[in-house]
């Protein structure tokens, strides 16, 4: 019959414990008795903020998702106190034996009354939906603290672990083990105390057989070997899990990682964890020994009780300086009460939600290890807006989260006395676990703006926090709630609050720019954000998808200038990257850019797009320069304008100015892979080859996964006559992208110079054959003929490139690969036709 996965419905072998396709835990159908006619009931409506469940629990927010189901923070209206409410997944609740087991275990778990254990209440049912109520502990879970700190100090680690041991010792004394101990189930409350949560799947040590044999319960990264084998467990399984948590606290990651839960679980059985001291030399040798002893595969070799482990930790703690043992208490930071009135609709904000951020901030500050202060950038105020975190129930608002952050960057860039790193740099930290000071140091800013979004249907909750990089203190934090129709007003409120918190005096029309709206149509705005989300991926299919969204946005609001600007950018990149012929792409781009400027002549982005079209396609370099200069005047902090202007200057032979502009672009967008690589490219055109290599080496070190660095280095090595290194660089670039270099004209050119003439001619023949059905730059083919010394063929393809308005024509004045042709009058004539020579 097989085992069907409850998540992806893949048919697995009968003895499977995890799905072979997606890794989801599988409970044998033999262990679960479900009547053939029985249906799995779920709440008739998705629980949203403000809704009341079971006639008693008013939902405040989603706290997260666990193996058993979704967890909410709710107000128990009957008792007038907050609780955590966990909905049990239908596939689990469908088994009556499982529910009976949980009910019995909860009765035991409720006996645990200890300061380091969150209280469990009861298992209940509402119209077919089963749920567990438990104590709500405001604060931050240990997982979040580890992510923000990267590594905890030995003193902080021991302080937390001792308290966890105390809570476990009490539970074990009563005959209860946790079986799913992990950082997500350890809360740091507002007093800085550790609290073990979620004993809802605990089991009694005395009551054998309560849990069906062969059923695995737990989280693979923290499971003991006996749990992986679905064997009998005892308190030593919790000791093993705590050992994994200790490892993660001092190292910053779990000891065993893998692509699927199954692969991780198998490592718990078969692999020995690496000695923590090899990864973090700052921890005491004794602590490393304790961690490894906790994680012994044979439970007889582990600590046999939580009290035994706690005693060992106390002994180690005595050798740690007093200042490192406890984190000093800091004065709580309070948020001002939010009162926002909108003409569209008044927002109703539950009084309880305001406290959440405050508590989290206090706990973080109490527990974060002290670091030396990062020197603040001199001169102007500086702030980086990081991508917002998607906390929505369905986790489907990535485009909206990115859009909010990008919009704030665009708005703040309009302020002359504020330095704001561009999107590419700020978004480079997305999904990475770095602390505040490290991010601030990399971006060279004084402050970070971090935020999150929860969106359920039309309801919004936006949380923002302004953090001071030097000491990690939050300068300001707020939580806003409302409907989608209130979103524009929320954006204005947030933008003004940031500037107010930074104590920046707005000059002239800066306030108007800061809160300027390009549309009042929320549907059009939503579509525009989706367009930019796909545009930023820069692949052919995503660019085409972005065009669809921009066009839909324009249909919703024909006066939406930003949507026309996005359309121009999409067609421009399609043409620039030769995804479609330039003769098809650039006219469409120009039409869209001109329409954007007709609607709003102050739109710097549209002026930049138009400048690029005038430069790269129409070769009207004088008008292009004026457009670039106007764009920079309108928005001095717009990195893209400086970036593209640098190439115009380089193409005209004004290398010193070009270098200054590209360096300015990098200053504004320091972690943009393309801008960093193009610093080297601009130097290459200026014939400063050694300096170009230095810059490209730096860029490669920061962005080893970006092929452009290897391509640019290959070009520099070629001009230095280091052909083997050039070929190696290009081949490495192709490895990074997973592409073949067979149709690379540049690689064929390098072969032609390096004496591998036959290989170059073979590749060139393949490229020309390919070009009969697909667009290939004629200028790039001409370059190969230059390398082969066949001047007549080179000029044939150069003229063909001119007739097709090849995008690479604009480099002919400065491209060193064409130096052998410069003495030929035909080359000078071609430069004049393009407008590069008078």
Dihedrals phi, psi of 51, to nearest 5 degrees: -75, 155
The neighbour count for residue 517, using CB atoms within 10 Å, is 11
283: number of CA atoms within 13 Å, CB side?
A: 28
Q: Which of 180, 198, 402, 486 is catalytic?
A: 180
Tokens 């490192």 label which residue? 324
- Residue 180 known to be catalytic: yes
CA angle 429, 254, 471 (to 5 degrees): 45
CA 315 to chain centroid, in Å, comes to: 41
Q: Which residues contact 258 (CB under 8 A, 6 or more apart)?
A: 264, 266, 267
> Two tokens at 606?
């549209």
Report the chain's terminal Cα–Cα distance, integer Å. Answer: 81
Helix (H, G, I), strand (E, B) or coil at 189: strand
Starting at the edge strand found earlier in the chain, the sheet holding 186-189 runs 139-141, 186-189, 194-196
Q: Which residues contact 634 (CB under 8 A, 6 or more apart)?
A: 602, 603, 604, 607
Tokens 């601030």 label which residue? 440
Q: Are 772 and 805 in contact (CB under 8 A)?
A: no
> Two tokens at 738?
């997973």
Longest dimension (CA), the chain: 97
Helix (H, G, I), strand (E, B) or coil at 130: strand
Q: Are 179 and 237 in contact (CB under 8 A)?
A: yes
Q: Which 3-state string (H, E, C) describes 45-67? A: CCCCCCCEECCCEEEEEEEEECC
Task: Report the alpha-carbon distance of residue 176 to residue 169 in Å, rounded.
Answer: 10
Q: Which 3-state string (H, E, C) describes 97-110? A: HHHHHHHHHHHHHC
Q: Which residues contact 107 (CB under 8 A, 6 or more apart)?
A: none
**Among 458, 374, 352, CA closest to 76:** 352
Strand (E) or helix (H) holding 675:
helix 673-685
Task: Report the alpha-carbon distance of residue 385 to residue 324 in Å, rounded.
Answer: 32
> Two tokens at 381?
């105020």
Q: What are the residue numbers of the active site?
A: 180
């Amino acid at each position: 019959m097989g085992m069907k996965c409850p998540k992806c419905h893949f048919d697995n072998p009968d003895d499977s414990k995890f799905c072979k396709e997606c890794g989801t835990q599988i409970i044998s159908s033999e262990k679960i008795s479900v009547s053939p006619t029985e249906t799995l009931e779920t709440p008739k409506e998705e629980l949203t903020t403000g809704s009341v469940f079971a006639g008693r629990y008013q939902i405040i927010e989603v706290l997260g998702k666990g193996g058993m189901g979704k967890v909410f923070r709710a107000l128990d209206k009957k008792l007038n106190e907050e609780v955590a409410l966990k909905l049990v997944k239908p596939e689990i609740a469908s088994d009556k034996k499982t529910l009976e087991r949980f009910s019995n275990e909860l009765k035991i778990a409720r006996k645990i009354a200890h300061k380091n254990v969150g209280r469990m209440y009861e298992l209940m049912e509402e119209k077919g939906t089963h749920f567990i109520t438990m104590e709500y502990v405001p604060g931050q879970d240990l997982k979040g603290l580890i992510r923000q700190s990267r590594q905890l100090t030995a003193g902080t680690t021991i302080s937390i672990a001792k308290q966890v041991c105390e809570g476990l010792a009490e539970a074990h004394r009563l005959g209860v083990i946790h079986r799913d101990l992990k950082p997500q189930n350890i809360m740091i409350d507002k007093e800085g105390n550790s609290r073990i949560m979620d004993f809802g799947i605990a089991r009694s040590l005395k009551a054998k057989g309560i849990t069906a044999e062969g059923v695995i319960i737990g989280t693979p990264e923290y499971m003991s070997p006996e749990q992986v084998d679905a064997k009998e467990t005892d308190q030593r399984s919790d000791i093993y899990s705590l050992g994994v948590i200790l490892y993660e606290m001092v190292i910053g990651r779990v000891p065993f990682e893998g692509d699927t839960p199954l692969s991780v679980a198998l490592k718990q059985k078969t692999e020995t964890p690496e000695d923590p001291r090899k990864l973090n030399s700052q921890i005491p040798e004794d602590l490393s020994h304790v961690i490894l002893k906790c994680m012994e595969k044979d439970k007889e070799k582990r600590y046999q009780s939580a009290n035994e482990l706690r005693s060992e930790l106390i002994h180690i703690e005595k050798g740690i300086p007093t200042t490192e043992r406890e984190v000093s208490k800091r004065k709580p930071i309070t948020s001002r009460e939010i009162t926002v009135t909108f003409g569209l609709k008044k927002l109703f904000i539950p009084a309880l939600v305001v406290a959440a951020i405050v508590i989290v901030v206090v706990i973080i500050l109490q527990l974060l290890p002290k670091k030396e202060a990062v020197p603040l950038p001199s001169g102007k105020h500086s702030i980086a807006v990081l991508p917002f975190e998607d906390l929505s129930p369905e986790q489907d608002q990535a485009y909206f989260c990115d859009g909010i952050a990008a919009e704030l960057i665009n708005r703040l860039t309009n302020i002359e006395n504020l330095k704001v790193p561009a999107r590419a740099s700020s978004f480079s930290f997305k999904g990475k676990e770095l602390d505040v000071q490290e991010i601030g140091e990399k971006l060279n800013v004084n402050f970070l703006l971090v935020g999150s979004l929860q969106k359920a249907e039309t309801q919004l909750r936006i949380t923002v926090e302004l953090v001071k990089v030097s000491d990690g203190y939050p300068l300001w934090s707020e939580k806003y709630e409302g409907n989608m129709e209130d979103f524009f007003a929320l954006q204005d409120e947030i933008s003004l609050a940031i500037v107010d918190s930074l104590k920046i005096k707005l000059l002239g029309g800066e306030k108007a720019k800061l809160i300027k709206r390009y549309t009042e149509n929320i549907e059009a705005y939503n579509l525009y954000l989706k367009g930019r989300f796909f545009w930023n991926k820069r692949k052919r299919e995503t660019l085409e998808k972005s065009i669809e969204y921009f066009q839909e946005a324009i249909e919703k609001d024909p006066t939406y200038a930003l949507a026309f600007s996005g359309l121009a950018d999409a067609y421009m990149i399609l043409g620039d990257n030769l995804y479609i012929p330039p003769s098809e792409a650039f006219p469409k781009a120009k039409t869209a850019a001109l329409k954007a400027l007709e609607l709003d002549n102050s739109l710097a982005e549209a002026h930049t797009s138009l400048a690029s079209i005038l430069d790269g396609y129409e070769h009207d370099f004088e008008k292009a320069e004026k457009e670039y200069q106007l764009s920079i005047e309108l928005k001095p902090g717009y990195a893209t304008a400086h970036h593209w202007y640098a190439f115009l200057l380089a193409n005209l032979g004004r290398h010193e100015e070009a270098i200054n502009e590209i360096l300015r672009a990098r200053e504004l967008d320091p972690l943009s892979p393309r801008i960093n690589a193009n610093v080297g490219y601009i130097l290459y055109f200026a014939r400063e080859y050694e300096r170009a290599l230095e810059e490209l080496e730096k860029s490669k070190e920061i962005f080893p996964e970006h092929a452009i660095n290897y391509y640019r280095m290959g070009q520099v090595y070629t001009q230095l006559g280091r052909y083997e290194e050039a070929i190696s660089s290009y081949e490495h670039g192709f490895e990074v992208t997973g592409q073949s270099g067979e149709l690379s004209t540049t690689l064929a050119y390098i072969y032609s110079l390096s004496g591998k003439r036959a290989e170059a001619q073979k590749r060139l023949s393949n490229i020309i054959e390919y070009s009969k059905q697909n667009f290939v730059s004629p200028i790039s083919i001409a370059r190969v003929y230059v390398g082969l010394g066949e001047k007549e063929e080179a000029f044939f393809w150069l003229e063909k490139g001119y007739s097709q308005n090849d995008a690479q024509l604009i480099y002919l004045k400065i491209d060193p690969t064409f130096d052998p042709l410069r003495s030929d009058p035909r080359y000078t004539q071609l430069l004049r036709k393009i407008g590069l020579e008078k």
